Amino acid sequence: MNLAELYTTYKDMVFNLSLSYIQNIEEAEEITQDVFVAVYQSMDTFQEKSSINTWIYRITINKSLDYIKAKNRKKRLGVFASLFYENTNEVKYEQPSFNHPGVLLEQKESVEIIFNHINQLPDNQKTALILYKLEHQSLESIAAIMNISSKAAESLIQRAKANLAKKIN
């Protein structure tokens, strides 16, 4: 498979998954580009121990989590810088607003709140929940993507749901 074929087959999967992590179109597009560049660069080293689908899922998850970490680092740095520079009462880096094109307008506010809570979950719980609720993956494929057992995947989802329920009310 060449890049164009891979892109045609997996672009929506990659874009939607990164959108679930970031909830912003521009940033999800940025991650999608990063993912396909990484896929292209490591295509030769891809060993068919897992399916190509699982492999691309993993790359997307890693790129999304890395992006979030970098964004948070930038945000912390912005807060820190605003303490030292004069005439800057505002934070230098502002998190872009919630911009998920898949959310219905009338539910935008409620879904944004839920995503805010999901974003506070530990990475593995967040990943398991996103794969289960938003990507509609089976426990077996979640286990394969996350390189854990099906039972561990199920337990992560249950914990994520419980934590989310606690946070919602």
Partner 1 sequence: MNTHMKQADIDLLDTIQRVEASPYLLTRIQQRIESKQATRFSTTWSWAIGISFVVLLLLNIATLRNNHSASSNENNLAQSMNLLPNHNLYNE
Q: Which residues bind partner 1 (CB under 8 A)?
A: 3-4, 7, 11-12, 14-16, 19, 29, 32-33, 36-37, 40-41, 100-104, 107, 110-111, 114, 133-134, 161, 164-165, 168-169
Between 114 and 148, name the residue whose CB sits nearer to partner 1.
Answer: 114
Min CB(32)–partner 1 separation in Å: 6
Minimum distance between the CB of residue 115 and partner 1, rounded to whole angstroms?
A: 9
Query: Closest approach of Cβ 144 to partner 1, in Å?
Result: 21
* CA–CA gap between residue 163 and residue 160 (Å, rounded): 5
Q: What are phi and psi of 125, to 5 degrees?
A: -70, -40
The pair of structure tokens assigned to 34 is 């990063």
Rounded to 5 degrees, φ, ψ at 99 are -145, 75
Widest Cα–Cα separation across the chain:
56
Residue 89 or 101: the one with the smaller Cβ distance to partner 1 is 101
Nearer to partner 1 by C-beta: 33 or 72?
33
Cβ atoms of 109 and 131 within 8 Å: the answer is: no
List beta partners, residue 24.
99
